[in-house]
Amino acid sequence: MGMSGFWAVGALADEDVAELAPRAVPAIEATAARALAVGAWKRWERDVAHGDGAVPVWRPDGYNTEEALHLYGLVNDSAFDAMDSTWELHVMEWWDRFDDSVDPYITSVRKGNPVAALFHGLGPVRAAALPGWAGDAVFTSAEVRRLLPAVEGVLALTGAERDRVVARIDDWLCDEEPEELLDGPLRVWRDTAKAGAGLLASRIWF
């Protein structure tokens, strides 16, 4: 059986954030600041500039293009996945701490990465405006309230732009629910802000 890429976005009490953040936030920031990550993001921007706002996903023979594989590799570099694989931090134990007042968003893609599909749909400009790195983030309740407008600016799309982003996500996923990758995380951010809670977003292989 192949592994699946899981992505979870849920609310955490501020006291849990205070316990998790000193370990997770530096790891997320270090992952984003790596020279390989910075260079890979610039290449994604160049690849997108040659296309119609997104990289080509499929070759004529049905395999992924080099550009799509590059984006996949870029977004697949997860601090939580690295910490989980080396037994430094077991992220699913933190999923068990999600605040019951907010229904978390948890999705999986067999042999795939849901955040890569989301980034493909959004493109590098919008993806760069999402707080955190490649689907990983830990924020206090105050930070959630402060950052919510930026998240809404990225995910709360309407009209032709939403249709275009959803179509690109669908092209990447093929057999999932593309709208949920926009609507699910956005709902959690909004509900978490209303609940006055902190937030954990994390992606791992399982």
**What distance in Å separates the CA atoms of residue 186 and residue 62, rounded to the nearest whole number?**
32
The distance from CA 102 to its chain's CA centroid, rounded to whole angstroms, is 19
Look at residue 2 in the predicted model and tell me its pLDDT: 62
DSSP conformation letters of 26-44:
HHHHHHHHSHHHHHHHHHH
Question: Would you write out the chain's pLDDT as a tens digit for each of its 206 residues?
Answer: 468 889 999 999 999 999 999 999 999 999 999 998 999 999 999 999 887 789 999 999 989 999 999 999 999 888 988 888 777 888 889 999 999 999 999 999 988 899 999 999 999 999 999 999 999 999 999 999 999 999 999 999 999 999 999 999 999 997 668 999 999 999 999 999 999 999 999 998 88
Look at residue 88 in the predicted model and tell me its pLDDT: 80
Closest to 169 (Cα-Cα) out of 206, 204, 119: 119
**What distance in Å separates the CA atoms of residue 40 and residue 19, rounded to the nearest whole number?**
32
pTM for the full predicted model: 0.94
- The encoded tokens of residue 144 equal 């959630």
Pairing relation of β-strands 105-110 and 137-139?
unpaired
CA separation (Å) from 106 to 45, 159, 169? 28, 26, 17
**What distance in Å separates the CA atoms of residue 143 and residue 145, rounded to the nearest whole number?**
5
**First-to-last C-alpha distance (Å) of the chain:** 11
Look at residue 191 in the predicted model and tell me its pLDDT: 98
Q: 3-state class of 107 per DSSP?
A: strand
Residue 107 bridge partners (DSSP)? 7
CB 129 within 8 A of CB 153: yes
* Backbone φ, ψ for residue 37 (5° rounding): -65, -45
* Backbone φ, ψ for residue 140 (5° rounding): -75, 170
Give the pLDDT confidence of 84-133 residue by residue, as tens digits.
877 788 888 999 999 999 999 999 998 889 999 999 999 999 999 999 99
Look at residue 1 in the predicted model and tell me its pLDDT: 44
- The encoded tokens of residue 15 equal 């006291």
